Structure 1
Amino acid sequence: MAKPPRLSPPAWLTAGLRPQPTPVPWPAVLRAAVALSAPLAVGLATDRPAYGALVSMGALSGVIGDTADAYRMRMLNIAVPQLFGALGVTLGTLVFGQGWLAVVVLTLVALVSGMISSIGAVASVSGLVLLLNAVVGAGLPMPEPWWKAPVLLGLGGVVVLALTLLGWPLRGGQPERAAVAGTYRAVAELFEATGTDAYDERRQAVTASLNQSYDLVLARRARQHGRAPTLVRLLAQLNALIPLLEAAPAAHLAAHRFHRPPPPQIPTAVRALADAVEQGRTGGPEPDLPEARRPSEKAVDEAVRYAATVVRGAEPRAYNVDDGLGRPAALRVRLWRAGRGVLLSGASWRYGLRLALCIGLAQALVSLIAVPRSYWVALTVTFVLKPDFGSVFSRAVLRALGTAGGLLLAAPVLAAVPRGWWDVPVIAVLAALIPAFSAKGYAFQTAAITPVILLLSDVLNHQGFHLVLPRLYDSLIGCAITLVAGYLLWPESWHTRVADRLADAVADTAGYVALAFAPGAGDTDPGARHRARRKLYRDMSAVRSEFQRALTEPPPAGDLAAAWWPLAIAVERIVDATTAARIRVDHGAPAPEPAEVAAVERQLRELADGLRSSEVLVEVRVDLGGDEDGVLAALRQEVRAARATASP
């Protein structure tokens, strides 16, 4: 007798419930425990527990925003949102208990919060804290006069910032060096994976690591005038990886063709360079590499020796540092550009209006219906409706589940622990869970934050265990408002854009093919090819992020994204095959005929046009011809595979 089918929830619904395999950030755990418990202890010692709770709430915002590695970026991530948070709580306090005036003000704050969130990562967190603190100020009684609440909340941010910067004198440049060294180690793992099925995954890891390293180093450089020698060296060491990354596809294809992966001395030498970068060492012996014979082997050999020269050698010349950004514009110019971009951006207005609509509905609802501690409804909307944080639908579901888990954790604490000095060790333990759980996923972060907010708000309200069930109801109401008014009513929320993004990537890949084999491409401005390739991989990294968001959407968006995913992988392989062919030509292989290059470019552009004109997989014609033993053979094979993938 056949067994009945197992009933299990769909993968798109349960994806966020699987904890990410990330290590526990122990320094962040210790900072969170101290930053949230110490102010509460001071407040109790001075007989001002409400003041201590407000400072701890401000510290909570700083703990959530402290996600960067470099110290200068962490200063911005913590300090700038605190300024917006002070403004938000001031506005909220001024309209506390004002009924419909509070609804109007919070709706306008939500519009501004949503619009500025499109500027960048720091602006996104700033917009979030602006709205969160405005909602808290309008929903909780704050100490008089009006300026005390923003000062106390800002003081909490100062506490987190002070704890964060304690290690700056000793580890000022260590995060940047560690990031660059980590990229070298990722490249070593990439070469170990050549010729295996793990190569694609390792290449994606290298792209992510390289993006992070460039962002860290360039963000630090953008805040210094001129060229600091340390930063110039780090940029030169990053740029020295470009030849290695271009040689890797050639080595991978050669390993497939000849069943001969690169010798183990290659990743060993790259790891030795990583250690030198992390420790800031110069000098040292030449890498011990075997004799190179084939074009791909020569490319790898030259790339490793060049990287070793840069890591070990003399001061790098300025023209070797090709970050593509030039000198940063003045702060006034950057603020003007950001403001103009926000006001003229349709996407910025649409997100701002979505957030304003949901907040307005939430506040109007709690103004018409008696909802205990109603500010939690708007808080839930604010946390869930952050498209730049991931799928709105999945975040709503995960928020509800995470809140339920957090309430299960908070219930025995609120029921059994008496208010007073016992709150200090309890807050220290619960606060330590926030950075530990945040790295595991959104539902886990919500489960960790919920009991901390409940305990701190109980210091202000003295509701005890009676807070638990109202919090669950409020969260469910907020999730329902977000799903209807912030998701279902906006088709762009549940219609994936992966086809458009893929079409752009395919068109850029066609341009890269033409650029790589243009007459004189090996002699004139090789940096143009490097920049084009870097842009392609960075764009494909963004496409993967879009895919990850779309895959957590319910059907049909999630199913469509899953259908397009093999084509995204195929596009990356086309870029790799193009680079490998160019490297082979640079090291002695015969150059392809212009007609062959034109045929490949034409096929890619036809594929891009087909993706733009259809929301489903497109019918394609595959006819590339060409010499099956020529330098473009692997490239043509990848193009055929991509076009076959796009066929119904």
Structure 2
Amino acid sequence: MAEQKRAEGGIRQGRLAPPEWLIGGLRPGPAPIPWPAVARAAVALAAPLAVGMATGQAAYGALVSMGALSGVIGDTADAYRMRIFNIAVPQFFGAVGVTVGSLVFGHGWLAVGALTLVALVSGMISSIGAVASVSGLLLLLNAVVGAGLPMPGPWWKAPMLLSLGGLFVLLLSLLGWPLRRTEPERAAVAGTYRAVAEAIEAAATDAYDTRRQSVTQSLNTAYDLILSRRAREHGRRGELVRLLAQLNVVIPLVEAAPAVHLRGWGVDAAIPAAVRQLAGAVEEGRTDSPELRLPAPATPAERALDTALRHAFAVVHDADPGRTNIDDRLGRPAALRIRVRRAGRNVLLSGASWRYGLRLALCIGLAQVLVSVIPVERSYWVALTIVFVLKPDFGSVFARALTRAIGTALGLVIAAGVLANVPRGWWDVPVMMVLAALIPAFSAKGYAFQTAAITPVILLLSDVLNHQGFNLVMPRLWDSLIGCAIALVAGYLLWPESWHIRIGARLADAVAATADYVEYAFGSEDDRTERVRHRRRLYRDLSTVRSEFQRALTEPPPTGARAAAWWPLVVAVERIVDATTAARVRVNHGARPPAAGEAEDIAVQLRELADGLRESETLVEVRAQLEGDEEGVLAPLRQEVRAARAIASPGA
């Protein structure tokens, strides 16, 4: 509901109030401060600098700290095995990038061509996934730095020192692995149970939609953590089997929640309390058998919730996980060779991959040509700004260009105070500890805050290498503004797909998939396991659509205005999926099944809506009427479909 209010506020604000798309990126996010990451960042960036000064090689220490900075930015995973991939793999690409950059340093147009080619490759591989995105980022960033700054020693020393910094961050992040190997996975499963408890507790309130979205995110995170680990560990390890079984049995609780929500009144407080008790047992690894006291169920929705909760209690407190049927098909990754082949095909044959690679290459090429023709002091900062602004998975290009400029200005204010008042030398170490600690703390609050935290760190490390002091500040501001301008013109305005709305097609695909789900849920071939996979895929797709809309809301008109107008339809489609699940659960627990053809009629309406969304950039008109038994099990579903149709065709 909060996102919907912000979307509506972007249209209804007074004339003197700045629009939402302008100020949205400047509002700090609600994420808590990750204190362990704060401590790791402080040690990882300050320790190499201290060692470099103690050995008389301050420049080498600064390079190791730069590599550590890349590792700190990429250290975002909870599971230890994912941290290895998130830090080590990008560090390899970063080492390749700085090697290429160092080899073309001072070679004029050869450097322009090399960086343009690296930008093309970087942009294309960024479309594979999260780790590939960070890898592409470091490949290009380090290539730009290597081509813009003289590196000490032979060509191999800079990549070695940068990689050493990243590996130092990885070592710090893995210190607790021997004692806490499965703690992140266990915490994720327990968090899913707590999210379900909050959703059930909010079943009769307006907060239910937000709680249900939290359940979807928790489920996705938990399955990704556990199944990706099981994909690399053959055999049936006891703890992983238990965690997967405990996660699987939360699915009936998730399915029962919308049935309780559509019933219209709350549940007994003992039910969410029992779910939280399960969360505690999962997190602590307890297998005792406490007494379960629940109110007697009276309706199909209550019977579904009661059955799901008792089954979950039996599995969570079962000391022998081997007796539980484990279904790894609910999202288990494909074999590595299949994923590599699929990723390669997506990169080489994807139009979106080529378009983004060409956009990034054009902007980097223009930046390098500009700084080659016009003398720009420390010109690599122009290209660095472009790389961060044009990252497609960081949000709106337009909004990032503005927030980057604002964040850089704030960071330069901090850097100016440090460079003007703190003497160079050993004082750099405690200052670096403080500034480095701000990076993970500020990154959790938003892109502008992250930029404000990273800017003084990079300037302080650059000063260790170049000894320019306060003279670094103003050139960095002008370089950032030039980079933002190039990104806005050559990477945004010249590409109509950047500022024309594209979210309608994604939403249409989700609506069509919802129609398939409705048909399957009430078809003769209904299989619960397959239906669960259908629903999980659909919620993942809707989560992606929601993210696309939230990015579009930060675009200036007309894109932001259109996204705000369509936003209620995203919420309506999510409610249709909930209503379908609730109806299926009620039928499974005693409600009368729908008449023949009822589900098919609803699916036809949804496909008509999907076709209208694909054919129009504005809201569509759906004329067909939806009739059926207003007392039947599908009545709430028809009501949600009518609501979606009313949103899509307000003039009908």
State which of 620, 623, 629 in structure 2 corresponds to 1:621.
623
Asked if the contact 1:139/1:373 (under 8 Å) is kept, the reply is: yes
Residue of structure 1 equivalent to 2:451: 446
Partner of 1:309: 314
Q: Is the 8 A contact 1:286 1:308 kept in 2?
A: no
Q: How much does 1:584 deviate?
A: 1.2
- Is 1:41 matched with 2:41? no
The alpha carbon displacement at 1:149 in A equals: 0.4
Equivalent in the alignment of 2:586: 584
Deviation at 1:246, TM superposition (A): 0.8
Alpha-carbon separation, structure 2, partners of 1:370 and 1:16: 33
Q: CA deviation at 1:583?
A: 1.1
Instruction: Give the alignment partner of residue 479 of structure 1, picking from 474, 479, 484.
Output: 484
Which of residues 176, 181, 193 is equivalent to 1:172?
Answer: 181
What is the CA–CA distance in structure 2 between the aligned matches of 1:316 and 1:7, rounded to whole Å?
64
SS at match of 1:168: coil
* Aligned partners of 2:194 and 2:279 also within 8 Å: yes
Counterpart residue number, 2:72: 63
Output the CA distance in 1 between the equivalents of 2:345 and 2:598. 45
Please give the secondary structure, in 2, of the residue aligned with 1:171.
coil
TM alignment of 1:148-547, pairs within 5 A? 148-254=157-263, 256=264, 260-313=265-318, 314-317=320-323, 319-325=325-331, 328-329=334-335, 331-519=336-524, 521=526, 525-547=527-549
Measured after TM superposition, the shift of residue 320 of structure 1 is 3.1
Per-residue CA deviations over 1:138-171 (Å, capped at 9, x if unaligned) read 0011012111101111110111111111111111
Q: Deviations over 1:522-566 (max 9, x none)?
A: xxx211111111111111111110011100011111111111111
Deviations 1:55-91 (A, max 9, x none): 0000000000000000000011111111111110011
- For residue 253 of structure 2, give the secondary structure of its aligned residue in structure 1: helix
Say yes or no: does 1:98 pair with 2:107.
yes
8 Å contact kept, 1:188–1:268:
yes
Q: Is 1:552 matched with 2:558? A: no
Pair 1:326–1:172, CA change in 2 (3 A): closer
Q: Distance in 2 between matches of 1:5 and 1:628?
A: 43
Aligned residue in 2 for 1:640: 642
State the distance in 1 between where 2:403 and 2:237 align.
Answer: 45
Residue 39 of structure 2, aligned match among 22, 30, 37: 30
Query: How far 1:336 moved relative to its partner?
Result: 2.8
Moved more, 489-498 or 296-305: 489-498
Matching residue's letter, 1:584: R
1: CA distance between counterparts of 2:208 and 2:488? Answer: 39
Matched, 1:54 2:63: yes
Q: Distance in 1 between matches of 2:368 and 2:291?
A: 68
Distance in 1 (CA, whole Å) between partners of 2:624 and 2:444 is 45
Deviation at 1:461, TM superposition (A): 0.7
**1:627 Cα deviation after fit:** 1.5
- Check whether the contact 2:510–2:542 (CA below 8 A) recurs between aligned residues: yes
| SS of equivalent to 1:169 | coil
Q: How far apart, in 2, do the equivalents of 1:178 and 1:143 lie?
A: 45
Residue 148 of structure 2: which of 127, 132, 139 is its match?
139
- 2:457 corresponds to which letter in structure 1? V
Residue deviations 1:300-332, cap 9 Å, x none? 000111111111113145643243345741x44
Q: Is the 8 A contact 1:239 1:322 kept in 2?
A: no
CA distance in 2, matches of 1:140, 1:124: 24
2:528 partner amino acid: P
Displacement, 1:634? 0.6
Q: Is the 8 A contact 2:65 2:162 kept in 1?
A: yes
TM-score normalised by length of structure 2: 0.96
Q: In the alignment, which residue of structure 1 is the partner of 2:574?
A: 572
Bigger mean CA deviation after superposition, 632-641 or 622-631? 622-631
Query: What amino acid is the match of 2:202?
Result: A
Query: Is this contact kept in 2: 1:187–1:206, CA < 8 A?
Result: yes
**Kindly tell me: are residues 600 and 5 of structure 1, through their superposed partners in 2, closer, same or farther at Cα, counting changes over 3 Å?**
closer
Cα separation, 2, equivalents of 1:389 and 1:473:
23
> Please, which moves more after superposition, 490-499 or 93-102?
490-499
2:608 is aligned with 1:602 = no
Letter in 1 for 2:321: E
SS at match of 1:426: helix
Any idea what SS the aligned residue of 2:171 has? helix
Distance (whole Å) between structure 1 residues aligned to residue 408 and residue 425 of structure 2: 25
Say if 2:106 and 2:147, in contact at 8 Å, map to a contact too.
Answer: yes
Q: Residue 167 of structure 1 aligns to a residue in which SS?
A: coil
Report which stretch shifted further, 512-521 or 87-96: 512-521
Task: Determine whether 1:88 maps to 2:97.
Answer: yes
Deviation at 1:23? 1.3
- Secondary structure in structure 1 of the residue aligned to 2:226: helix
Aligned-partner residue type, residue 164 of structure 1: S
Q: Deviations over 1:473-506 (max 9, x none)?
A: 0000000000001111111111222211111111
2:304 and 2:589 in contact (8 A); partners too? yes
- Greater CA deviation, 335-344 or 204-213? 335-344
The one-letter code of the counterpart of 1:81 is P
Structure 2 segments unaligned to the other structure (5+ residues): 1-12
CA distance in structure 1 between the aligned counterparts of 2:374 and 2:525, rounded to whole angstroms: 73
Contact 1:54 1:152 in 2 (8 A): yes
Task: State the distance in 1 between where 2:332 and 2:31 align.
Answer: 35
CA contact (8 A) 2:245 2:321 kept: no
- The CA RMSD over aligned residues, in Å, is 1.4
Instruction: Judge which range, 432-441 or 627-636, deviates more.
Output: 627-636
Q: For 1:327 and 1:488, locate their aligned partners in 2 and report how far apart those are by CA, in whole Å.
A: 38
Alpha-carbon contact 2:48-2:65 (below 8 Å) kept: yes
Aligned partners of 1:232 and 1:321 also within 8 Å: no
Does the aligned pair in 2 maintain the 1:55–1:153 contact within 8 Å? yes
1:11 equivalent in structure 2: 20
Aligned-partner Cα distance in 2 for 1:464–1:85: 27
Counterpart code for 1:324:
L
1:366 maps to a residue whose letter is V
Give the direction of change, closer, same or farther, for the CA distance of 1:568–1:423 in structure 2 (3 Å limit). Answer: same
Question: Aligned equivalents of 1:595 and 1:39: distance in 2?
Answer: 70
1:297 is matched by which residue type in structure 2?
E
CA shift, 1:421, in A, is 0.4
Distance 1:456 1:336 in 2: 40
Identity %: 74
TM-superposed CA distance for 1:6, in Å, is 5.6
Code of the aligned partner of 2:354: W
- 1:385 and 1:149 mapped to 2: Cα distance? 26
Contact 2:125 2:132 (8 Å CA) reproduced = yes
